[in-house]
Chain A
Amino acid sequence: MADRRALFLTAPGWIWLTVFFLLPCGVLFAYAFGTTSYTAVNFGTSLKNFGDVLTTPTLQTVVLRSLTTGLAVATLTVLLAFPLAYAITLGPFARHATPILLLVVVSLFSAFIVRIYAWRTILGSSGVVNTFLMQIGLTTEPLDELLYSRFAVVLTLTSVLIPVAVLPLTAALSGVPRSLIEAARNMGTTAPQAFRRVTLPLASGGIGSAFALTFVVGAGDFITPQLVGGPSSQMAGSAISSRFGISFDWPQGAAIAFTLVAGMVAVLVALRLLMRAAGMRDRP
Chain B
Amino acid sequence: MNHGLLARILYATYLAALFLFLFAPIAVVVVFAFDAKGIATPPFEGPTLRWFRAVLADPVLQQAAANSAKIAVITVILCILIGTPAAFAIARLNGRGVRAFALVISMPLMLPTLLVGVTLMAMFSSLGVGLSMWTATVGHVLVTLPFLVFTLSARITSIDPQLAEAAANLGATPAQTFRRITLPLIGSALACAGLLVLGWSIDEFTVSFFNMGGGSTLPMAIWGQMRGGVSPTVNAISTIMLGLTVFIILVVHRLGNIAALGGKTG
Contact = CB atoms under 8 A, between A and B. Distances in A.
Contact of B85 (A12, A103, A115, A118): A12
B263 A170 contact: yes
Given A106-B245, A171-B263, A83 B11 contact: yes
Contacts of B1: 90, 178, 181-182
Contact of B29 (A6, A80, A117): A117
A162 B12 CA distance: 17
B253 interface: yes
Give the most central of B81, B113, B139: most A CB within 10 Å: B113
A59 interface: no
A112 B205 contact: yes
A94 interface: yes
Contacts, number: 276
A14 to B, nearest CB: 7
Interface stretch (A45-53, A143-151, A236-244, A276-284): A236-244
Interface string A250-264: 100110010011000
A114 B242 contact: yes
B242 A20 contact: no
Given A94-B266, A113-B223, A118-B28, A2 B95 contact: yes
Interface stretch (B49-57, B162-170, B195-203): B195-203
A161 B107 CA distance: 19
Nearest to A86: B11
A12 B81 contact: yes
A68 to B, nearest CB: 16
A175 interface: yes
A122 B11 contact: no
A84 B18 contact: yes
Q: At the interface, is chain A mostly helix, strand, loop or mixed?
A: helix
Contact of A124 (B41, B263, B265): B41
A110 interface: yes
Interface residues of A, number: 96
A125 to B, nearest CB: 9
Contact of B15 (A87, A90, A122): A87
A91 B11 contact: yes
Nearest to B24: A122
14 contacts: A24-B123, A83-B18, A106-B246, A107-B22, A110-B203, A111-B238, A114-B26, A117-B29, A117-B222, A122-B28, A124-B41, A128-B40, A171-B262, A217-B112
Q: Which 3 residue pairs across A and B have the least CB separation, nearest first? A: A220-B112, A171-B263, A118-B25
Interface of B: 1, 3, 7-8, 11-12, 14-15, 18-19, 21-26, 28-29, 32, 40-42, 81-83, 85-86, 88-89, 93-95, 97-98, 101, 104-105, 107-108, 110-116, 118-123, 126, 138-139, 141-142, 145, 149, 196, 199-200, 202-203, 205-206, 210, 219, 222-223, 226, 234-235, 238, 241-242, 245-246, 248-249, 253, 258-259, 261-266
Given A122-B40, A172-B263, A213-B110, 13 more contacts: A5-B93, A6-B95, A12-B82, A28-B123, A93-B12, A105-B261, A114-B203, A121-B235, A126-B41, A128-B42, A159-B25, A223-B206, A237-B114
